[in-house]
């Protein structure tokens, strides 16, 4: 029977598709905050620990799915598995039935820990923005006092580190951070080996998500004191092919069309073509602005589009000037200015705009 214990425990943990906060009320599960029984705080908010040493809790965070990325709201939705493992002698028991473990509902384990004068690790999701819906959770305790907790839940998470300066060649930082509800002299976190990261099938088509890493640190917790934290960080980049075919290729075609218009002898027709192109650039600008928040800085695409506005506007003015010169009998001067614009000013001007944009936005920082 003893030999079957590890296998049974493994099956139980797999059925739960891991998750986290122990023993929550229905209201707490909806809010996503696992407050539990916080340590008592004396007058003057000076906490006095009653434990000789903190409980060391190994934490694993695995993102199973990315359900959405809302870059305007700067948040993302995820389905996450959270696993915890710790050892507390107060939870040890005599295995008289020979099962090798005891299975608890999380709230029952909290009550059991209270009864034996101990605590169960509790946490909050620091960057949570929505209700956290717990799909399944489970707690298991072994006879020697080793405890396991597993939870799978879905929620919306803040992503405040988004920086769109290089859009659409930007690389964004996503993270999932949990903080212990107890000060770090009661509970400390550590990494649960090989149990954190990103699933291979996240279901997110717009972003390429990679470079997952787990970090353990300390931050201000619910008690106002230093509390242990565990943060899963990963990065995301966009599919450049989409923006090449939907944005940059049409922009290049418009630039070439504007340049080809210089070979028309009718300056009025040129101005009409430039005016039509200006309207297309306005449509591009609206399309891009609908995807991004109202930023207080200029992005890579903003820079190029704004200069396309300026150049196209100057083309209209330039062709009006050439028309006036032609009407006033100064066709020779108009022809020379037009020749310079065709061969040098227009192509070199756009080349300079691209070079400045790449240098200022993509090659710096």
Q: Which of 145-149, 236-240, 336-340 has the lowest mean pLDDT?
A: 336-340
| pLDDT reported for residue 344 | 87
Same domain (yes/no): 204, 292: no
| pLDDT reported for residue 1 | 36
Same domain (yes/no): 233, 266: no
Residue 152: which H helix or E strand, with range? strand 146-158
CATH number of the domain that 306 lies in?
Answer: 1.20.58.390
Same domain (yes/no): 113, 9: yes
Mean pLDDT of 60-68: 95
Where a domain ends, among 223, 238, 253?
Answer: 238
Same domain (yes/no): 10, 23: yes
Where a domain ends, among 178, 207, 238?
Answer: 238
What distance lies between CA 296 and its chain's CA centroid? 20
CATH number of the domain that 165 lies in?
Answer: 2.70.170.10
Same domain (yes/no): 226, 308: no
| pLDDT reported for residue 292 | 87
Where a domain ends, among 205, 220, 238?
Answer: 238
Q: Tell me the sheet residues that pair with 134.
A: 153
| pLDDT reported for residue 39 | 40
pLDDT above 70 coverage of the chain, percent: 86
| pLDDT reported for residue 63 | 96
What does the pLDDT look like over 289-340, one tens digit per residue? 888 888 999 999 999 989 988 998 898 898 899 998 988 888 889 888 988 8
Angle formed by the axes of helices 346-357 and 300-327, nearest 10°: 160
Q: 129 pLDDT band (50/70/90 cuts)?
A: very high
Give the domain extent around 335. 241-362
Same domain (yes/no): 64, 7: yes
Closest CA to 183 of 21, 85, 46, 25: 46
Same domain (yes/no): 225, 252: no
Mean pLDDT of 252-271: 87
Give one word for 271, left, alpha or beta, with left for phi > 0 and alpha for psi -120 to 50: alpha
Same domain (yes/no): 96, 225: yes
Percent helix, strand, coil in the chain, to 5, is 40, 30, 30
Check whether 346 has a pLDDT greater than 50.
yes
Domain count within the chain:
2
Same domain (yes/no): 9, 150: yes
Q: Which of 24-28, 112-116, 135-139, 220-224 has the lowest mean pLDDT?
A: 24-28
Check whether 97 has a pLDDT greater than 60.
yes
Same domain (yes/no): 66, 174: yes
Same domain (yes/no): 85, 205: yes
Query: Global pTM?
Result: 0.77
| pLDDT reported for residue 48 | 37
| pLDDT reported for residue 262 | 84
Q: Tell me the sheet residues that pair with 180.
A: 123
Same domain (yes/no): 74, 214: yes
Beta-carbon contacts of 7 under 8 Å, excluding residues fewer than 6 positions away, are none
pLDDT above 90 coverage of the chain, percent: 55
How far is Cα 46 from Cα 41, in angstroms, rounded to an integer?
6
Check whether 38 has a pLDDT greater than 50.
no
């Amino acid at each position: 029977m003893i030999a079957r214990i590890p296998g049974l425990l493994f099956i139980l943990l797999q059925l739960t598709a891991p998750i986290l906060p122990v023993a929550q009320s229905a209201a707490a599960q909806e809010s996503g905050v696992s407050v539990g029984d916080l340590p008592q705080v004396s007058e003057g908010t000076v906490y006095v620990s009653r434990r000789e040493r903190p409980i060391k809790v190994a934490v694993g965070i695995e993102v199973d799915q990315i359900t959405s990325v809302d870059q305007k709201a700067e948040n993302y939705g995820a389905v996450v598995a959270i696993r915890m493992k710790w050892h507390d002698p107060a939870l040890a028991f005599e295995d008289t039935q020979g099962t090798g473990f005891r299975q608890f509902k999380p709230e029952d384990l909290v009550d059991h820990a209270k009864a034996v004068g101990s605590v169960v690790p509790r946490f909050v999701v620091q960057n949570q923005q929505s209700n956290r819906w717990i799909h399944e959770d489970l707690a298991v305790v072994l006879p020697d006092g080793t405890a396991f907790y597993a939870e799978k839940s879905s929620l919306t998470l803040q992503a405040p580190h988004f920086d769109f300066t290089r859009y659409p060649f930007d690389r964004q930082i996503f993270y999932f951070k949990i903080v212990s509800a107890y000060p770090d002299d009661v509970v400390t976190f550590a990494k649960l080996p090989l149990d954190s990261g990103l699933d291979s099938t996240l279901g997110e088509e717009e972003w390429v998500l990679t470079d997952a890493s787990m970090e353990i640190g300390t931050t201000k917790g619910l008690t106002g004191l230093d509390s242990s934290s565990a943060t899963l960080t990963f990065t995301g980049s966009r599919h450049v092919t989409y923006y090449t075919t939907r944005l940059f290729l049409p922009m290049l075609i418009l630039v070439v069309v504007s340049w080809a218009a210089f070979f028309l002898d009718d300056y009025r027709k040129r101005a009409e073509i430039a005016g039509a192109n200006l309207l297309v650039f306005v449509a591009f600008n609206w399309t891009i602005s609908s995807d991004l928040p109202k930023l207080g800085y200029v992005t890579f695409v903003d820079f190029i589009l704004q200069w396309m506005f300026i150049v196209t506007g100057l083309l209209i003015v330039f062709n009006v000037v050439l028309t006036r010169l032609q009407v006033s009998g100064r066709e020779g001067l108009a022809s020379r200015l037009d020749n310079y614009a065709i061969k040098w000013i227009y192509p070199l001007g756009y080349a300079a705009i691209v070079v400045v944009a790449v240098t200022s936005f993509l090659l710096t920082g």
